[in-house]
């Protein structure tokens, strides 16, 4: 991370006012990726993320847990039942009294309905199922609920997004609101919209969740990354999805 240090110092030195991106100026990370990466994403037979989607399709029909139920047993054909789900997550869970993201929703189904062990974060199976479900929202606009119960959590996410953190003392906003389009260590800084998660990141050589990507950013500024599933992480996810409201879901996206 030494290579980031010099750039970070320059960023810290400038007094930048955190300016939100105008709705019409929002662009998906797809637009910031190279032509080759875009071609890879567009071709379902060359997009490595589709391997996980295909795996998820298989898991959808696999019976699991003490209840011996598969996802399909309750939800039927995913193309119909899951069609607008990922676009609306994180969603408010009344029982827990807080928002949960798609991974947590899948695990709640596993533990409460299938009576199975929850899947661990970033495990192949959880990524495959999340990828498969999110893929059913491909082409649809992000439409997180405008539920008043979500407001305090998205306000927290907003605050976290604008809060400086880490040894480099940078906030998400400083890169992704103020300096998008510019370069950081040879890579173009995108605006940070979660339009294609779980995403096939070339750097990971694998599909990964939004929370993994956020942890990478936090490691990048030398902050302690959120634990997987932490309320702060979900609040930030919620804020990011609201910030990207109306943008099109691309799962599985390919990013550098």
Partner 1 sequence: MPRVLINLPERATRGEIIEIKTLIQHPMETGYRLDSNGARIPRDIINRFACTYNGEEVFRVELFPAIAANPFIAFSTIATETGELVFTWTDDDGQTQTESRRITIE
Partner 2 sequence: MPIRCPQISLSAPEGGEGRGEVGEIQASPDCIAHLTLPVADATGPLPLPPQAGGEGKLGGYRPTRRWILVAAAGGGLASLAPKATATEAAMADAIRELIGEAPLERGKVKLELPSIVENGNAVPLTVSIESPMTEADHVDSVHIFNQKNPQPYVAAFHLRPRAGTARVSTRIRLADSQRVVAIARLNDGSFWSDSADVIVTLAACTDQ
Q: Please state, in angstroms and rounded to a whole number, the distance separating the CA atoms of residues 236 and 250.
A: 20
Q: Which is nearer to partner 2, 40 or 70 (CB)?
A: 40
The least distance separating partner 1 from the CB of residue 215, rounded to whole angstroms, comes to 15
User: Integer distance in angstroms from the first to the last C-alpha of the chain?
Assistant: 17
The footprint of partner 2 (CB under 8 A) covers 1, 3-4, 33-37, 39-40, 48, 184-188, 202-205, 212, 215-217, 219-220, 256
Which of 71, 109, 172, 217 does the annotation list as catalytic? 217
The least distance separating partner 1 from the CB of residue 133, rounded to whole angstroms, comes to 17
Residue 234 site contact among partner 2, partner 1, none (CB < 5 to 8 Å, cut-off depends on kind): none
Contact status, residue 211 vs residue 204, Cβ threshold 8 Å: no
Q: Which is nearer to partner 1, 92 or 121 (CB)?
A: 121
Q: Which of 141, 249, 127 is nearest to 196 (CA)?
A: 249
Residue 67 site contact among partner 2, partner 1, none (CB < 5 to 8 Å, cut-off depends on kind): none
Q: Please state, in angstroms and rounded to a whole number, the distance separating the CA atoms of residues 65 and 63.
A: 7
The least distance separating partner 1 from the CB of residue 44, rounded to whole angstroms, comes to 8
Residue 3 site contact among partner 2, partner 1, none (CB < 5 to 8 Å, cut-off depends on kind): partner 2
Residue 34 site contact among partner 2, partner 1, none (CB < 5 to 8 Å, cut-off depends on kind): partner 2
Q: Which is nearer to partner 2, 110 or 212 (CB)?
A: 212
Q: Which is nearer to partner 1, 53 or 91 (CB)?
A: 53
Within 36-55, which residues bind partner 1 (CB under 8 A)?
43-46, 48, 50-52, 54-55
The answer to whether residue 189 forms part of the interface with partner 1 (CB under 8 A) is no
Is 71 annotated in the active site? no
> How many CB atoms are closer than 10 A to CB 59?
17
158 forms beta bridges with: none
The least distance separating partner 1 from the CB of residue 150, rounded to whole angstroms, comes to 36
The least distance separating partner 1 from the CB of residue 77, rounded to whole angstroms, comes to 21
Which pair of tokens denotes residue 15?
A: 């007094």
Q: Which is nearer to partner 1, 180 or 197 (CB)?
A: 197
Residue 217 site contact among partner 1, partner 2, none (CB < 5 to 8 Å, cut-off depends on kind): partner 2
Can you give the binding site for partner 1, defined by CB under 8 A?
A: 43-46, 48, 50-52, 54-55, 205-206
Residues designated catalytic: 217
């Amino acid at each position: 991370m030494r290579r980031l240090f010099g750039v970070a110092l320059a960023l810290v030195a400038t007094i930048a006012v955190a300016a939100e991106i105008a709705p019409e100026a929002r662009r998906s990370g797809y637009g910031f990726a190279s032509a080759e990466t875009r071609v890879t994403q567009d071709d379902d037979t060359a997009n490595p993320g589709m391997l996980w989607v295909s795996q998820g399709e298989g898991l959808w029909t696999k019976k699991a847990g003490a209840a011996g139920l598969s996802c399909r047993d309750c939800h039927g054909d995913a193309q119909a039942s899951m069609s607008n789900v990922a676009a609306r997550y994180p969603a408010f869970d009344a029982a827990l009294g807080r928002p949960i993201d798609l991974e947590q929703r899948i695990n709640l189904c596993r533990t409460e309905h299938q009576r199975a062990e929850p899947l661990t974060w970033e495990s192949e199976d959880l990524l495959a199922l999340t990828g498969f479900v999110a893929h059913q929202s491909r082409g649809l606009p992000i439409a997180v609920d405008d539920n008043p119960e979500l407001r305090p959590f998205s306000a927290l996410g907003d605050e976290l997004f604008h809060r400086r953190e880490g040894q480099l003392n940078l906030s998400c906003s400083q890169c992704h609101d103020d300096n998008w389009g510019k370069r950081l260590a040879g890579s173009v800084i995108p605006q940070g919209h979660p339009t294609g998660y779980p995403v096939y990141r070339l750097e990971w050589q694998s599909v990964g969740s939004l929370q993994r990507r956020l942890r990478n950013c936090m490691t990048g500024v030398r902050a302690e990354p959120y634990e997987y599933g932490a309320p702060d992480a979900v609040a930030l996810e919620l804020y990011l999805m609201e910030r990207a409201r109306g943008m099109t879901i691309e799962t599985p996206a390919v990013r550098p």
